[in-house]
Amino acid sequence: MYLIKTKDMSEEIERTEREDLFSKAVKAGKRTYFFDVKSTRGNDYYLTITESKKRFGTDGKFTYEKHKIFLYKEDFEKFMEGLNESIEVIKENAPPIVEREAYSDRESSYSDKGTSSSNDEVNFDDLGK
C-alpha cells in the first residue's frame, strides 16, 4: 500500500511538472482567456485555450462557465490562417463595437433631437490599446 501511494504521488508530481510549461491570462471585459502550453507524455507540446466567463445564478452565487479547445502543433499553421482570415473579415465588415458599460452613459447624452455624443464610434484598431 505504501509503495502504491508513493508511486501515485510521484506520478502526479511528474505529470504536473511535465504538463504545465507556460500560462498566460488575458482579461477581456467579462471574459478571461487562458493560453496554456502543456506537454504530452511523449514530451510533445500543445496549446489549450480556455474562455472563462463569470455567471451569476438566481441565488446570487456565481460560477464560472468554461470552454476549452486543444490545439496541437501540427494544426498551428492552419488554425492561424483561419483565425487571421476571420479577423480580417470582421475588421473589414463589422459595424463599430458599442461597449455595454459605455452604452448607458451615451444613452443619457442623447439630445432631444436624437443625436448622440461624439464618442459613439469605436475604431476596431483601438481595441488592443
State the cell numbers at 63: 460560477
pLDDT of the residue at 119: 46
Residue 112: which pLDDT band, with cuts at 50, 70 and 90? very low
Residue 23: which pLDDT band, with cuts at 50, 70 and 90? very high
Q: Average pLDDT of the chain?
A: 76
Top mean-pLDDT range of 1-15, 60-74, 115-129: 60-74
Note whether 96 and 121 are within 8 A (CB).
Answer: yes
The SS3 of residue 71 is strand
pLDDT above 70: residue 26? yes
Domain spans of the chain? 2-94, 96-129
Q: Which fold has domain 2-94?
A: Nuclear Transport Factor 2; Chain: A, (3.10.450)
**How many helical (H) and strand (E) elements, i.e. helices and strands, does the chain have?**
3, 4
Rounded to two decimals, the pTM is: 0.57
The terminus-to-terminus CA distance of the chain in angstroms comes to: 57
